[in-house]
Amino acid sequence: MTFLPLADTLLAAHRSATQTRYEAAFAPAGVAEAYRVQAEVAQALSAQASGWKVGFRPDGRGAFAAPILSTGVVSSGARWRLGPGIGGVKIEAELAVRLGRDLPLHPGKPYTREDLLAAIDEIFVGIELVASRFSNVDDVPFDARVADNFNNGAYVTSGGIKNFAGLDLSQIRCRLLVDGVVKNDRLGGHGDGDPLIPVVAWANVQADAFGGLRAGQFITTGTLNDPVPLNGPAKLEASLEGIGAVNVEIVV
C-alpha cells in the first residue's frame, strides 16, 4: 500500500502486467505529486532509477523527467516479454547518454551544454517501448502521464562510444527496422534538433524525488522517428550511424 491513490493504481498495473482504465479521480494535484508517485511506485517495486527520459512540457513550463526503472531495462540481443494485457505499445529509436559523474542541481549557476558534455561517459543507441499503464491513454492528462513514468514500458540499451566529439548529434542517420522492414531511415529527426537540449534543461530543474542525476545513470533524449505501433511479437533493430546498433526480440 502506497501513500497516494494513483500510486496504488499504477503499482497494481505494474505487478499484474495489465492495463487499467484512467479515471479523473486519479489526477495528481500537480507535477510535484506526480514525481512523488514515481518514487512511491519504484520503492514498492524495489526498483531503482537506472535511467531517465526527459523532454519539455507542452504548456511551456519547462523540462520534465521520468525514471526508467531497473525492472524495465533490457540489454541488446535479449528477448523481452510484454504482459498479455498490454496494448497500444509504440517503438522509438533514441540517442542516450550515460553519465560518468553526478550532476547535482546548481541553483544560480545553470549547467551549459559544455558542462553536460564533460559529464558524459558514453553515448549509445536505445529503443524505447512506450506503453502506458492505462488502456485509455488518450484521456490521461499530462501530469498523470508523468506519474506513469511518462508511458515508459521498457528500454533496450546497447554498447556505447566514448569519443563522439566529431559527431553532429542533430544530423545522425537513424534507421529503425521491424522484422526486417525499414520503418525509419533519415538524418536527424529529434523534435528539438539537438538531442542534448532537453537533457541540459532537465539538469537545471531536477525536481524529481529520486535524488537527481547520478553517475552511471543514462538519459534518453527522445524519439528520432515517428512512433511505430508494435502489433505483436517482433524483432526490432535500430542504428545510429557512427554510434552503434541495438536489437531486441519482443515476445508475448
Q: Is the pLDDT of residue 191 over 60?
A: yes
In the block, cell 533519415 appears at 186
**Per-residue pLDDT for 1 more than 50?**
no
Contact 249, 80 (CB under 8 A): yes
- Dmax over Cα atoms in the chain, in whole Å? 50
The average confidence (pLDDT) of the chain is: 96
CA gyration radius for the chain? 17
How much of the chain exceeds pLDDT 90, in percent?
94
Measured CA to CA, the distance from residue 32 to residue 213 in angstroms comes to 17
Per-residue pLDDT band for 2 (boundaries 50, 70, 90) equals low
DSSP state of 82: P
Name the pTM for this structure: 0.96
| HEC assignment per residue over 39-77 | HHHHHHCCCCEEEEEEEECCCCCCEEEEEEEHHHEEECC
pLDDT digits (tens, 9 = 90+) for 32-87: 999 999 999 999 999 999 999 999 999 988 999 999 999 999 999 999 998 767 88
In this predicted structure, what is the pLDDT of residue 109?
95
Domain boundaries, the chain: 5-251
Measured in degrees and rounded to the nearest 5, phi and psi for residue 250 equal: -95, 125
Place of cell 524483432: 235
Closest of 171, 169, 153, 161 to residue 248, by C-alpha? 153
**How do residues 91-127 score in pLDDT, each as one tens digit?**
999 999 999 999 999 999 999 999 999 999 999 999 9
> CATH number of the domain at 5-251, please?
3.90.850.10
